[in-house]
Structure 1
Amino acid sequence: MARLDRLDSIRDVAQVGAVIGREFTHELLAAATGLPELELERATNQLVTSGLVFRRGSDNQASYAFKHALVQDAAYSSLLHSRRQQLHARIGLILEERFPEIVATEPELLAHHFGQAGLLEKAVEYNELAGRRALSRSVLTEALARFDNALSGLSALPPSEERSRRELSIQLALGSTHVAAHGFAAPPTADAYRRARELCEELGETRQLFPVLYGLSLYHIYAAEFTEARSVADRLLELAEADNDSGLSFFAHRAAGVSAFPAGEFTRARIHLEEALALYDPRAHRAPAFVYAFDPRVVCLVYLARTLLPLGFPDQALAANDEAVAEAHAVDHRNSLALPLFFGGVIRQIIGDHEGVQEQCSELTRIASEAGFRLWLAGATILSAWTKAEAGDFGRGRLELQRGITEWRATGAEFMVPYFIALQAQIEVRAGDPGAALLLLEAAQAGIERTKERWFAAEILRLQGEVLLQLGEDKTRGSRDRLLDALATARAQGARFWELRAALSLVRANCPAPGAREQLALIYSGFTEGLTLPDLQAAQTLATTKEGRRAAN
Structure 2
Amino acid sequence: GMAEPVHVWRVERIALTDSRFDAHHGPAGLTPLVGREGEVDLLLRRWAQAQEGEGQVVLLSGEPGIGKSRILNTLRERLETQGVQALRFQCSPYAVNSAFWPIIDNFERALKFARDETVEAKLDKLEALIVTHYSRPLADVRFVASILSLPCEERYGPLSMTPQRHKDETLRTLADISEAAARRQPSVLLFEDAHWADPTTLEVLDLLIDRVKTIPLLMVLTHRPEFQSRWSGHGHAGALNLSKLTRAQSAAMVSALAGGKALPRPLLEQILTRTDGVPLFVEELTKAVLESGELKDVGDHYEYAGPTRNATIPATLRDSLMARLDRFMPVREIAQIGAAIGREFSYEMIEAVAPMPQAQLDEALARLCESGLAFRRGTPPDAIYSFKHALVQDTAYDSLLKRRRQELHAKIARVIEQRFPNIQTTEPEVLAHHLTAAGRAEAALPLWQRAGEVALKRMALAEAIAHLNEGLELVTTLPQSSERDASELGLRSMLGTAWMALKGWPAPEVWTSLHPALALARSLGRHDALAPILSGLCANVLNQGRVAEAMRWAEEMLDVAKATSDVDLLIAGHAFASTCYFWMGELVNALNHTDQLLGLYDDEKHHHLADVLYRDPKTFAGIYASICNWMLGYPDRALRQGDEKDAHARRRGHLFDLGFALHTGVHEYDDRWKLEDLLKRAREIERLGREHSLPVLWTLLAPATSGQALIRGGKPAEGIAPLKASITAFEAIGGHLRIPTGKTCLAEGIALTGDLDNALHLIDEVIAQVERPGWEERLFYAETLRLKGWILSLKGDPECAERNFLASLDWARRQQAKMWELRTSTSLARLWQSQGKRQDAYELLAPVYDWFTEGFDTKDLQEAKSLLAELR
When the two structures are superposed, what TM-score results if normalisation uses the length of structure 1? 0.77
Amino acid at match of 1:444: V
Secondary structure in structure 2 of the residue aligned to 1:208: helix
Could you say if the C-alpha distance between residues 50 and 279 of structure 1 is closer, same or farther in structure 2, counting changes exceeding 3 Å?
farther
The Cα of 1:158 is off from its aligned counterpart by: 0.9
Q: Among all aligned residue pairs of Structure 1 and Structure 2, give the percentage whose two residues are the same amino acid.
A: 32
The Cα of 1:419 is off from its aligned counterpart by: 1.2
Asked whether the 8 Å contact 1:345–1:356 carries over to 2, the reply is yes
Counterpart in the other structure of 2:153: none
Secondary structure in structure 2 of the residue aligned to 1:270: helix
Secondary structure in structure 2 of the residue aligned to 1:53: strand
Counterpart in the other structure of 2:652: 327
Secondary structure in structure 2 of the residue aligned to 1:514: helix
List alignment gaps of at least 5 residues for structure 2. Answer: 1-320
Larger helix share, 1 or 2: 1
Asked whether the 8 Å contact 1:30–1:37 carries over to 2, the reply is yes
The Cα of 1:110 is off from its aligned counterpart by: 2.0
1:176-215 to 2 correspondences below 5 Å: 176-215=497-536
The Cα of 1:50 is off from its aligned counterpart by: 7.4
Cα RMSD after superposing both structures: 4.4
List alignment gaps of at least 5 residues for structure 1. Answer: 330-336
User: Of 509, 516, 527, which aligns to 2:855?
Assistant: 527
Q: Deviations over 1:130-187 (max 9, x none)?
A: 2333334443333333332222211111111221222223232333334344444444
Amino acid at match of 1:446: A
The Cα of 1:382 is off from its aligned counterpart by: 6.0
Asked whether the 8 Å contact 1:13–1:43 carries over to 2, the reply is yes
The Cα of 1:112 is off from its aligned counterpart by: 1.3
Mark the structure with the bigger radius of gyration: 2
User: Of 761, 772, 789, which aligns to 1:465?
Assistant: 789
Could you say if the C-alpha distance between residues 88 and 237 of structure 1 is closer, same or farther in structure 2, counting changes exceeding 3 Å?
same
Amino acid at match of 1:142: E
User: Of 415, 439, 453, which aligns to 2:737?
Assistant: 415
* More divergent stretch after superposition (346-355 vs 36-45): 36-45
Q: Deviations over 1:457-492 (max 9, x none)?
A: 2322332233233223x42x5545644654564455
* More divergent stretch after superposition (28-37 vs 320-329): 28-37
The Cα of 1:120 is off from its aligned counterpart by: 1.6
Could you say if the C-alpha distance between residues 13 and 344 of structure 1 is closer, same or farther in structure 2, counting changes exceeding 3 Å?
farther
Counterpart in the other structure of 1:169: 490
Counterpart in the other structure of 2:9: none
User: Of 423, 427, 445, which aligns to 1:124?
Assistant: 445
User: Of 663, 667, 674, which aligns to 1:345?
Assistant: 663
Secondary structure in structure 1 of the residue aligned to 2:377: strand
* More divergent stretch after superposition (223-232 vs 429-438): 223-232
Distance 2:339 2:688 in 1: 44
Distance 1:435 1:64 in 2: 74
Distance 1:526 1:293 in 2: 35
Asked whether the 8 Å contact 1:405–1:420 carries over to 2, the reply is no
Counterpart in the other structure of 1:155: 476
Counterpart in the other structure of 2:641: 316
The Cα of 1:214 is off from its aligned counterpart by: 3.4
How many pairs does the alignment contain?
528
Secondary structure in structure 2 of the residue aligned to 1:157: coil
Distance 1:285 1:376 in 2: 28
Amino acid at match of 2:511: A
The Cα of 1:520 is off from its aligned counterpart by: 7.4
Counterpart in the other structure of 2:377: 55
Distance 2:367 2:752 in 1: 78
1:6-405 to 2 correspondences below 5 Å: 15-24=336-345, 28-29=349-350, 31-33=352-354, 52-53=374-375, 55=377, 65-66=386-387, 68-280=389-601, 292-294=613-615, 300=621, 303-304=624-625, 307=628, 310-311=631-632, 312=635, 313-314=638-639, 316-317=641-642, 319-320=644-645, 323-324=648-649, 327=652, 329=654, 337-338=655-656, 341=659, 344-345=662-663, 347-348=665-666, 351=670, 353-361=678-686, 363-364=688-689, 392=717, 400=725, 403-404=728-729
Q: Deviations over 1:107-129 (max 9, x none)?
A: 22222111111212223222222
Could you say if the C-alpha distance between residues 268 and 540 of structure 1 is closer, same or farther in structure 2, counting changes exceeding 3 Å?
closer
Asked whether the 8 Å contact 1:490–1:498 carries over to 2, the reply is yes
Distance 2:769 2:699 in 1: 23
Secondary structure in structure 1 of the residue aligned to 2:736: coil
When the two structures are superposed, what TM-score results if normalisation uses the length of structure 2? 0.52
Asked whether the 8 Å contact 1:398–1:424 carries over to 2, the reply is yes
Asked whether the 8 Å contact 1:128–1:147 carries over to 2, the reply is yes
Distance 1:63 1:527 in 2: 75
Amino acid at match of 2:855: F
Could you say if the C-alpha distance between residues 399 and 287 of structure 1 is closer, same or farther in structure 2, counting changes exceeding 3 Å?
closer
Distance 1:40 1:324 in 2: 63
Q: Deviations over 1:166-221 (max 9, x none)?
A: 22232323333343444444444333333233334433444434444333333442
Distance 2:512 2:778 in 1: 28
Distance 1:148 1:549 in 2: 66
Does residue 441 in structure 1 map to residue 763 in structure 2? yes
Asked whether the 8 Å contact 1:305–1:316 carries over to 2, the reply is yes
Could you say if the C-alpha distance between residues 518 and 140 of structure 1 is closer, same or farther in structure 2, counting changes exceeding 3 Å?
same
Asked whether the 8 Å contact 2:622–2:641 carries over to 1, the reply is no
The Cα of 1:514 is off from its aligned counterpart by: 0.7
Asked whether the 8 Å contact 1:54–1:64 carries over to 2, the reply is yes
Amino acid at match of 2:779: W
Distance 2:699 2:369 in 1: 49
Could you say if the C-alpha distance between residues 125 and 64 of structure 1 is closer, same or farther in structure 2, counting changes exceeding 3 Å?
same
Distance 2:573 2:743 in 1: 32
Counterpart in the other structure of 1:334: none
